[in-house]
Amino acid sequence: TEYSLPTEYSAWKKLQSIYDSEHHDLFLKDLFAKDPQRFAKFSREYTSTEGPDVTLLLDYSKNLITQPILDALFSLVREADVEKVRDQMFSGAHINTSEDRAVLHVALRNFNDFSIQEKGVDEVAGVLAHIKEFSESVRSGSWKGYTGKAINTIVNIGIGGSDLGPVMVTEALKAYSKRDLTAYFVSNIDGTHIAETLRVCDPETTLFIIASKTFTTQETITNAESARDWFLGSAKDKAHVAKHFVALSTNTKAVTAFGIAESNMFQFWDWVGGRYSLWSAIGLSIALVIGYENFEQLLKGAHGMDKHFKETPLEKNLPVILAVLGIWYNDFYGSQTHALLPYDQYLHKFADYFQQGDMESNGKTVTKGGHRVNYQTGPIIWGAAGTNGQHSFYQLVHQGTKLIPADFIAPATTQNPIANSKHHRILLSNFFAQPEALAFGKTEEQVKKEVGSNASQALIKSKVFEGNKPSNSIIFPLLTPATLGALIALYEHKIFVQGVIWGINSFDQMGVELGKVLAKNILAQLDKPEDVVGHDSSVRFQVVLDSSFAYTRMATDYRINPLLPEAQEGVNTFSSVLRAACRIYCECTGNVTKYVYLYLKRIRQDATLCKIKYSSVTTSESTDAEASTRITCIVDPEPAPVAEICG
């Protein structure tokens, strides 16, 4: 297949020409003043054609665009063959070229509208039926733990897409949750995450969901093993694991070896990408929390947006519109970030979720054809729930030096109309006000009227808002499962369109691999500080001080805070590691004396506990004197010169 760089497209060149000649004269205040119909021209409403009722209004009138700019952007979509690649995705073609896989998250929510030919697609209905049966048995209380008690706590153990999607959705749809069923999500390999979660769990009433396609993901399996050890500390009999652990995986052998019954394994397929997997068995925790009926509504809402994306002309296609606006700012205005700003506390994890969805998909520097890109690809995605963000980072968005396009998202009505919806009215007033403030700002003349003509110029200038900051607004009647499904699918397809235009593979994630490989190599060296090899000087020294020695950790200004061993064995280890640290520090910096002096000064206070013999370290301005300083440390019967310690 021949792949072109988008910068070679005639539409791209036309857009560059328009930007070069016109962008200095594009002012939102003028654009609205010249065209009273601007909102009508630059807004679109999506209404589902079947299934649950979903309505979304996309207002993109507050963007730095004209109709000719938008026409050129749609021409770019056509020139990049987005429609062709879209249809290939829906048919099951292997558009994930680097891994030779289909990309079929749309098949997970396909209600017999699309003909998709790929192995495993015909098994989706069976997995959904399994999810329905199991979730209903747990929610009804008929599924019992090893002591005969019903389950009241769920712990989902996964990472990446096996965590972020379920976390976001269960938070977003908390209004639909079973309140006497508590869900926790453990992802981080940091033992604190699993430890703090287990502290509030009861082994008799807790169900663990282990979400790992291969059942070999290091973070997930390590946490799962710790959870199993904790559980068996009370349950004793390994046979009880089957009533308290289920797996979302394809590795039957590893799952059963762990102790999970094959009947409690929920399958998914290699054409399900992790960041697109909440629609699959990975969504089991969602079904448990909100009920299978609501989970199905989530799927149907997404399916409705799939149909819209596949069947609607580009000019009226919401995912396409969002995608080309992002291209306009990312590649022509040079904006590096995009903010997602939901004015709904239930959506407070939405930006976190699409950090992975967008940045892992389009954070690429090489095209499908193997060319190094000469243009910008995926933006940095970030954001927070309104109005919290207004009191933290909106200052920079309004008056900083960065151009930050933003999407404002809000429901017109609330699930919690307390105080006669007073809270929600205040929330919505801010939702409407912020895009207006960003677009139109405040002039110096307006400021002078506000503060008086006698105010200092510095004060006046500091209160000016330049405006002309672009944004989209997305509003819908109420955040329901179906609406959330449509909203997620909207952004999924936006990401897809941008990836096709940029000519990159949005469905692999090679960038996460290198760090894993290096970590695996370092892990094998952590207990052998003398064997720390194959790394730069910074890593070598950090490994010795921060990792390989469980009794010490590096603090600032070369000081060491020891976690002191009491046993002689610990003292011997302390001695060994101190020598290794001195040697490597000497090799890396050429100066060991300051390190050793501060080190011993710190541990001197605890010498009795440490059972360490030490002598004073003589300091001198002379490097020769420093180099010959003799240090007594740990259990050495005779002092050892620094040079000897350093090898």
151-166: per-residue pLDDT in tens? 999 999 999 999 999 9
Per-residue pLDDT, 1: 57
Per-residue pLDDT, 117: 87
In this structure, what DSSP letter does residue 158 have?
Answer: -
For residues 102-120, average pLDDT: 93
End position of a domain, from candidates 228, 249, 268: 268
Identify whether residues 235 and 333 lie together within a single domain.
Answer: no
pLDDT at 636 over 70: no
Per-residue pLDDT, 582: 59
**What's the CA gap between 118 and 107, in Å, rounded?**
10
Peptide bond into 387 cis (omega under 30): yes
Identify whether residues 134 and 244 lie together within a single domain.
Answer: yes
Identify whether residues 352 and 217 lie together within a single domain.
Answer: no
Question: Which DSSP string do the residues of 441-456 spell out, in sequence order?
Answer: -B-HHHHHHHH-TTS-
Percentage of residues in the chain with pLDDT exceeding 70? 82
How many Cα atoms sit within 13 Å of 90 on the Cβ side? 19
Identify whether residues 391 and 482 lie together within a single domain.
Answer: yes
Residue 115: inside a domain: no
Q: pLDDT tens digits for 170-189?
A: 999 999 999 999 999 999 99
Q: pLDDT tens digits for 313-371?
A: 999 999 999 999 999 999 999 999 999 999 999 999 999 999 999 999 999 999 999 99
**What's the CA gap between 629 and 600, in Å, rounded?**
13
Say if strands 552-554 and 265-266 run parallel, antiparallel, or are unpaired.
unpaired
Question: Which DSSP string do the residues of 84-141 spell out, in sequence order?
Answer: HHHHHHHHT---BTTTTB---GGGGG--S-S----TTGGGHHHHHHHHHHHHHHHHHT
List the helix and strand counts (H, then E) for the chain. Answer: 27, 15
Identify whether residues 354 and 491 lie together within a single domain.
Answer: yes
Per-residue pLDDT, 520: 87
The band of 575, judged by pLDDT with boundaries at 50, 70 and 90, is low
Per-residue pLDDT, 555: 31
Residue 372: inside a domain: yes
**Interior angle at CA 7, CA 6 and CA 10, nearest 5:** 90
pLDDT at 616 over 70: no
Domain count, the chain: 3
N-term to C-term CA, the chain: 58
For residues 116-121, average pLDDT: 93
Per-residue pLDDT, 541: 66
Residue 285: inside a domain: no
Per-residue pLDDT, 112: 81
**Is residue 391 flagged as an active site residue?**
yes
Which listed residue (171, 204, 360, 492) is catalytic?
A: 360
Any idea which of 246-260, 417-431, 512-526 has the lowest mean pLDDT?
A: 512-526
The band of 637, judged by pLDDT with boundaries at 50, 70 and 90, is very low
Residue 71: inside a domain: yes
Identify whether residues 165 and 221 lie together within a single domain.
Answer: yes
pLDDT at 578 over 80: no
For residues 249-272, average pLDDT: 95
Identify whether residues 506 and 545 lie together within a single domain.
Answer: no
Q: For residue 240, what are the CA distances in angstroms to 7, 146, 154, 204, 363? A: 60, 6, 16, 10, 44
Residue 348: inside a domain: yes
Other Cβ atoms within 10 Å of 222 Cβ, number = 14
- 97 Cβ partners below 8 Å, 6+ apart? 368, 505
**What's the CA gap between 51 and 306, in Å, rounded?**
13
**What's the CA gap between 293 and 308, in Å, rounded?**
23
Residue 357: inside a domain: yes
Does the pTM surpass 0.85? The reply is yes
Where would I find the beta strands (DSSP E) of 367-433?
A: 380-382, 406-411
Which listed residue (391, 422, 449, 528) is catalytic?
A: 391
Per-residue pLDDT, 544: 62
Where would I find the beta strands (DSSP E) of 412-533?
A: 471-476
Per-residue pLDDT, 620: 38
Q: pLDDT tens digits for 221-244?
A: 999 999 999 999 999 999 999 999
Q: pLDDT tens digits for 276-324?
A: 999 999 999 999 999 999 999 999 999 999 999 999 999 999 999 999 9
Which listed residue (119, 402, 516, 528) is catalytic?
A: 516
- 74 Cβ partners below 8 Å, 6+ apart? 314, 315, 320, 324
Identify whether residues 208 and 329 lie together within a single domain.
Answer: no
Q: In whole numbers, what is the pLDDT of the chain averaged over residues?
A: 88
Per-residue pLDDT, 587: 60
**Is residue 293 flagged as an active site residue?**
no
Residue 180: inside a domain: yes
Any idea which of 198-212, 408-422, 513-527, 558-572 has the lowest mean pLDDT?
A: 558-572
For residues 31-59, average pLDDT: 98
For residues 121-137, average pLDDT: 97
What the block records as the tokens of 50 is 């079947």
Domain hosting residue 534, numbered range: 524-645
CATH of the domain at 234: 3.40.50.10490
The band of 547, judged by pLDDT with boundaries at 50, 70 and 90, is very low
For residues 618-624, average pLDDT: 39
Q: Beginning with the edge strand found earlier in the chain, give each strand of the sheet holding 206-211 in spatial order.
A: 182-186, 153-157, 206-211, 245-248, 265-266
Per-residue pLDDT, 536: 80
pLDDT at 551 over 60: no
**Is residue 236 flagged as an active site residue?**
no
User: Do the beta carbons of residue 168 and residue 487 sit within 8 Å?
Assistant: no
Identify whether residues 559 and 581 lie together within a single domain.
Answer: yes
Per-residue pLDDT, 567: 36
Identify whether residues 167 and 73 lie together within a single domain.
Answer: no
Q: Among 229, 214, 233, 227, which residue's Cα sits nearest to residue 272?
A: 214
For residues 57-86, average pLDDT: 99
Identify whether residues 560 and 589 lie together within a single domain.
Answer: yes
End position of a domain, from candidates 219, 253, 268: 268
Residue 51: inside a domain: yes
Identify whether residues 315 and 347 lie together within a single domain.
Answer: yes
Where would I find the beta strands (DSSP E) of 189-258?
A: 206-211, 245-248
Say if strands 406-411 and 337-342 run parallel, antiparallel, or are unpaired.
parallel
